[in-house]
């Protein structure tokens, strides 16, 4: 329980009365209460009395009913859904999502998705996949692709085993499958949520009460959309506990939080759930696919349209494995004392000029007038973000649950710059420079990501 209260990176969490995951100081308070009650109370062993307690109740059916009632508020094209002929495959990857996604599609009047039979029932052995994580990409979706070909489906939806995340793949004209990144899905779902809201709210002045959120290591595409459309965008620390609590603050102020996401395929499309939710996201994505089909558009074509209107945002994320904490600390301390100078961060990385540095371990932010970071800081983890003069952003951070040094990079181009080949080459060069300049001194002590 203490471990869950401190680490939610893999989807585990302890929730406060707000419905959002706990943030400080509640984690400390819970840990303190546990330590003060390590010996079980004598009456805890009396199971007969426990069964008579008025506190004992099963909220499942009521929660089930209220949940689907809540997500139906985000169904905006029921007529299109009812007549849709788009075929979709869904896999729950041996987890709990199958029945709930089927019910969510029914609540939206969408045709039921084809279920991958070998993976639809919970199985803790995950016998058909090497890693039960759809974020890993095509390897997890092999059976889904086979079923899609058999049934003539063009889209695959995949939940992780606890169904709080969503991956999407689309069959291309070439017959190959495109698995969208978490950032690309953030762009698509963010666009869709705003598109539906705008259809329902023709009064442009109301847009000032609209908010979207994303974690600081996620794409800045929502920021670009917000700048053009007039709503508010905010970034938070990594983890939905921060986005959920910020959303609650805004809702309490009478604001509307339309959407929040993190690049690790986590999406909050329904603010009745102040956390990532792969079930409501699946139904909302299903409606988006049905709507686009009426415009003879694929998801890939719509993503291109978003980038052409708001600017291309190209991402490249990965990690190194390192089991030696001293090595990890030496990497980040070198960046804080670059060139042997105390409290001096690098100003260049290869041929790329660094325009700003934000260090959320120490609380330093060169872009702020007082040089102090706006976001909360913590010296228990490592996290430094570099902004580059060419529109690139790179964040290096340690994982809270795994022996990894993660890096997240994105090149944000201005609208009108559609030379994707050049943009990808520029981002590749930037990533190479980061690995050569920043990781080089400890490179022989790191293991690259296993593809």
Q: Kindly state the tokens that stand for 186.
A: 């953030």
How far apart CA 41 and CA 5 sit, in angstroms, is: 22
Catalytic residue among 5, 215, 298, 315: 5
Order across the sheet with 210-215: list the strands: 232-236, 210-215, 256-262, 266-268
Torsion of CA 168, 271, 248, 385, to 10 degrees: 20
Q: How distant, in Å, are the alpha carbons of 73, 231, 373, 410, 436 from that of 193?
A: 12, 12, 30, 23, 40
For strands 256-262 and 210-215, give the pairing: parallel
How far apart CA 410 and CA 404 sit, in angstroms, is: 20
Contacts of 37 (CB under 8 A, 6+ apart): none
How far apart CA 16 and CA 10 sit, in angstroms, is: 18
Which residues, listed in sequence order, are joined to residue 404 by a DSSP beta bridge? 321
Residue 85 CA neighbour count, 13 Å, CB half: 3
Asked if 115 contacts 177 with a C-beta cutoff of 8 angstroms, the reply is no
DSSP 437: I
Buried b (16+ CB within 10 A) or exposed e, 330-357: ebbeebbebeeeeeebeeebeebebbeb
- Listing DSSP states for 307-354 in one string gives HHHH--EEEEEEEEE---HHHHHHHHHHHHBGGG-TTB--SEETTEEE
Q: Reply yes or no on whether 300 is catalytic.
A: no
**Closest Cα partner for 312 from 419, 447, 394, 201?**
419
How far apart CA 438 and CA 425 sit, in angstroms, is: 20
How far apart CA 402 and CA 397 sit, in angstroms, is: 12
List, by residue number, the catalytic residues: 5
């Amino acid at each position: 329980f203490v471990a869950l209260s401190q680490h939610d990176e893999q989807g585990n969490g302890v929730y406060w009365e707000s419905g959002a995951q706990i943030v400080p100081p509640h984690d400390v308070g819970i840990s303190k209460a546990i330590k003060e009650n390590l010996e079980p109370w004598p009456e805890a062993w009396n199971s007969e009395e426990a069964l008579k307690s008025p506190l004992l109740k099963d909220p499942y059916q009521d929660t089930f009913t209220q949940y689907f009632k809540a997500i139906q508020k985000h169904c905006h094209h029921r007529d299109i859904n009812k007549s849709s002929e788009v075929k979709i495959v869904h896999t729950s990857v041996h987890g709990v999502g199958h029945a709930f996604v089927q019910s969510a599609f029914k609540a939206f009047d969408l045709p039921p998705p084809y279920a991958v039979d070998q993976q639809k029932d919970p199985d803790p052995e995950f016998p058909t996949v090497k890693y039960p994580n759809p974020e890993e990409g095509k390897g997890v979706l092999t059976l889904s692709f086979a079923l899609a070909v058999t049934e003539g489906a063009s889209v695959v939806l995949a939940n992780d085993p606890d169904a709080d995340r969503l991956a999407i793949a689309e069959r291309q004209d070439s017959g190959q499958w495109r698995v969208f990144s978490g950032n690309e899905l953030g762009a698509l779902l963010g666009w869709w949520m705003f598109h539906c809201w705008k259809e329902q709210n023709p009064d442009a002045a109301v847009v000032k009460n609209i908010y979207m959120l994303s974690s600081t290591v996620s794409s800045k595409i929502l920021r670009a959309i917000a700048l053009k459309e007039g709503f508010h965008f905010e970034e938070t620390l990594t983890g939905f506990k921060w986005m959920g609590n910020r959303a609650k603050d805004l809702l309490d102020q009478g604001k509307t939080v339309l959407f929040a996401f993190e690049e690790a395929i986590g999406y909050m499309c329904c603010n009745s759930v102040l956390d990532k939710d792969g079930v409501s996201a699946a139904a909302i994505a299903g409606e988006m696919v049905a709507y686009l089909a009426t415009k003879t558009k694929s998801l890939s074509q719509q993503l291109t349209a978003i980038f052409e209107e708001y600017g291309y945002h190209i991402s490249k994320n990965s990690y190194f494995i390192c089991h030696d904490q001293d090595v990890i600390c030496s990497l980040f301390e070198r960046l804080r004392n670059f060139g042997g100078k105390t409290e001096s961060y690098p100003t260049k990385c290869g041929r790329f000029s660094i325009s700003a540095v934000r260090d959320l371990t120490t609380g330093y932010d060169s872009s702020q007038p007082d040089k102090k970071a706006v976001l909360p800081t913590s010296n228990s983890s490592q996290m430094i973000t570099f902004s580059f003069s060419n529109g690139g952003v790179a964040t290096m951070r340690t994982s809270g649950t795994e022996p990894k040094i993660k890096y997240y990079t994105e090149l944000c181009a201005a609208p009108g710059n559609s030379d994707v080949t050049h943009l990808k080459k520029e981002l590749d060069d930037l990533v190479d420079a980061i690995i050569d300049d920043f990781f080089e001194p400890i490179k022989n002590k790191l293991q690259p990501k296993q593809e």
